[in-house]
């Protein structure tokens, strides 16, 4: 964990298409830093530059766009940086590594908070709710837009807790017509399932809106038990009160 005081800033410059053991050099370097416990690292992509070969690399030249410069930068203690440098030199290959003296004025607050915060057991809450399942076709429309997208927008506007949309690969409905995922075709009408969990009152209040939107489909309501685990029950309760 970093603290205020002297430190080292290390910058590693490689080409975007540079490889290390079959993967991108910058990605391999980032993984190495992560698993060696470095406090944090940033990868930035240049839009132009040249290196020791004196060839210009820029996004304006399509054929050279994959040769753009990448910089991986991190800040660590002098001891940690010294420990990592031999491996980084190997991974950087023909790239450039720069080390600068720096001073940490203010460490990242989240790290201090996490280190100071004792691990708390998860709190469990249970309640009764309704599960609504809506079955429609991918090609179904409402006011010129996909029906499932319109339904999601309507649910959000009515403060429904949440919705998940699933795209099926095979199915049929009341008309007995098969709907399937046509991977090689240009047209398909795959089945779509929207799954919503909320209180019975809120879901039933949304039903009149749904009646206008779904001209052909299926809506199913089921009783469910909601089991929720939370590390901060007070914050969760406040969010529920605000939303209500």
Q: For residue range 31-68, what is the model confidence (pLDDT) as tens digits?
A: 999 989 898 899 998 876 565 555 554 544 444 445 67
Q: Which pLDDT score is estimated for 39? A: 84
Q: Regarding predicted confidence, which is higher, 219 or 121? A: 219
Between 3-7, 173-177, 222-226, the lowest mean confidence (pLDDT) is in 173-177
Q: How far apart are CA 203 and CA 161, in angstroms?
A: 10
Q: Regarding predicted confidence, which is higher, 19 or 174? A: 19
pLDDT at 232 over 60: no
Q: Which pLDDT score is estimated for 2? A: 79
Least Cα distance to 38 among 87, 92, 73, 74 occurs for 74
Between 93-97, 215-219, 235-239, the lowest mean confidence (pLDDT) is in 235-239
Distances (CA, A) of 194 to 63, 174, 180, 242: 44, 18, 17, 26
Average pLDDT of 19-31?
A: 91
Strand pairing class (145-146; 163-167)? unpaired
Element at 243 (helix H, strand E): helix 233-243
- DSSP code per residue over 6-62: EEEEEEEEEETT-EETTEEHHHHHHHHHHHTT-S-EEEEE-SEEE-TT--EEETTSG
| Stated pTM of the model | 0.46
Give pLDDT tens digits for 169-196.
766 655 555 555 554 444 456 889 999 9
Residue showing tokens 């030199």: 89
Q: Which two tokens stand for residue 215?
A: 């001209």
**CB burial of residue 99 (10 Å; 0-12, 13-18, 19+):** middle
Least Cα distance to 165 among 193, 146, 132 occurs for 193
Domains of the chain: 5-116 (3.30.70.120), 123-243 (3.30.70.120)
């Amino acid at each position: 964990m970093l603290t205020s005081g002297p430190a080292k800033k290390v910058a590693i410059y490689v080409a975007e298409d540079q490889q290390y053991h079959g993967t991108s050099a910058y990605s391999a370097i980032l993984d190495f830093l992560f698993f060696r416990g470095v406090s944090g690292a940033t990868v930035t992509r240049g839009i132009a530059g040249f290196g020791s070969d004196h060839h210009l690399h820029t996004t304006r030249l399509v054929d050279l766009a994959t040769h753009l410069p990448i910089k991986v930068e991190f800040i660590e203690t002098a001891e940690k940086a010294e420990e990592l440098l031999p491996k980084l030199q190997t991974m950087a290959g023909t790239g450039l590594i720069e080390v600068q003296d720096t001073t940490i004025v203010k460490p990242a607050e989240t790290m201090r908070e996490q280190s100071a915060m004792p691990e708390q057991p998860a709190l469990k809450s249970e309640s009764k709710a309704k599960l609504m399942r809506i079955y429609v076709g991918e090609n179904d429309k409402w006011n010129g837009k996909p029906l499932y997208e319109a339904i999601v927008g309507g649910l959000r506007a009515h403060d429904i807790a949440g919705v998940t949309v699933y795209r099926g690969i095979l199915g049929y409905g009341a008309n007995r017509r098969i709907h399937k995922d046509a991977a090689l075709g240009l047209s398909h009408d795959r089945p779509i399932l929207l799954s919503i969990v909320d209180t019975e009152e809120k879901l039933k209040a949304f039903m009149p809106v749904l009646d206008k939107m779904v001209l052909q489909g299926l809506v199913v309501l089921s009783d469910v038990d909601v089991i929720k685990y939370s590390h901060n029950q007070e914050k969760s309760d406040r969010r529920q009160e605000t939303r209500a």
